[in-house]
Amino acid sequence: MAYTYDADLEFLGQCSDEQLRELADILMKDKDGKLRYTEEITKTKEYKIYEHRYSRYWKILAGELQLFGGNSVVNNIFRFGRGVKYDEILNDVLDKINVPYNKSLNILTKEDKLIEKIFSDMLKNMPEEKRMELVKDMDLKVTGFSSQAIMIAVQTGLRAGGFLSYQITVIVANYVARLVLGRGLTLATNAALTRGLSFLIGPIGWAVTGVWTVFDITGPAMRVTLPACVIIACLRKTILFEKNN
């Protein structure tokens, strides 16, 4: 397995073992917690030496994601075992879940579109009392408690950047981790960011539709790349947040 240099993934080298845990688990394990038949990480000498010290072999993780992002036949025959870059992987995910976007957008903006789409799907099945609770706990400035009104505030927050953008991304990443891994994130900052939002990060009370219907029927690669992109979006904002604070 070989990692192709990717400016959009190089920041993973700044992440801690704890921060990389969910990404590693998504790449290595299926929804039952068993190793994926196609994973190559545990076969590497780096994994055998460092195991859960993921930061020591973050390029192995990145290379595995790149392989999942490309067609395996194309990778092996034409790419000499290398996969595709993250921007192409993210574009493919956005295409599969029917998110309109411009390919020339920067990576943060594309990731925000993914986060926005999943947050929107979460709201669709959320009872009104939970939406009211969400607005209060996130201190969102809204004109009402409909999904549309809340999404306007969420979109504004994502585009503005800052703490609210980070919080929204962590909430979505927590939810995705619960759906895919059966547990939330293990980030040290997680508790502070999601305090008061236990109904989102606790046991799943309702199903997310739309995105996850596509996620389930599109094939095994999407079952890795979609949640991996969400986790990477969260890690990117975590590193940016830590730098700015």
* pLDDT tens readout for residues 175-199: 888 888 888 787 645 555 655 555 5
Q: How confident is the model at residue 232 (pLDDT cuts 50, 70, 90)?
A: very high
C-alpha span between 182 and 201 (Å, rounded): 10
The string of DSSP codes covering the chain is --PPP-TTTGGGGG--HHHHHHHHHHHHB-TTSPBPTT--GGGSHHHHHHTT-GGGGHHHHHHHHHHHHS-HHHHHHHSTT----HHHHHHHHHHHTT----TTS-HHHHHHHHHHHHHHHHHHTS-HHHHHHHHHHHT---S-SSHHHHHHHHHHHHHH-HHHHHHHHHHHHHHHHHHHHSS----TTHHHHHTT-HHHHSS--S---THHHHHHHS-TTHHHHHHHHHHHHHHHHHHHHHHH-
C-alpha span between 111 and 209 (Å, rounded): 19
C-alpha span between 159 and 181 (Å, rounded): 29
Per-residue confidence (pLDDT) for residue 77, from 0 to 100: 42
Per-residue pLDDT tens for 55-77? 999 999 999 999 988 754 344 44
In order of 70, 93, 156, 169, 207, the CA distances from 121 in angstroms are 27, 15, 17, 14, 9
C-alpha span between 116 and 112 (Å, rounded): 6
- Ramachandran angles phi, psi of 80, nearest 5°: 55, 45
Break the chain into its structural domains and give their ranges: 10-244
Least confident of 10-14, 69-73, 93-97: 69-73
Per-residue pLDDT tens for 102-133? 999 999 999 999 999 999 988 887 888 888 88
More confidently predicted of 136 and 165: 165
> Vertex 94, ends 1 and 210: CA angle to 5°?
115
Q: Do 54 and 20 touch, CB atoms closer than 8 A? A: yes
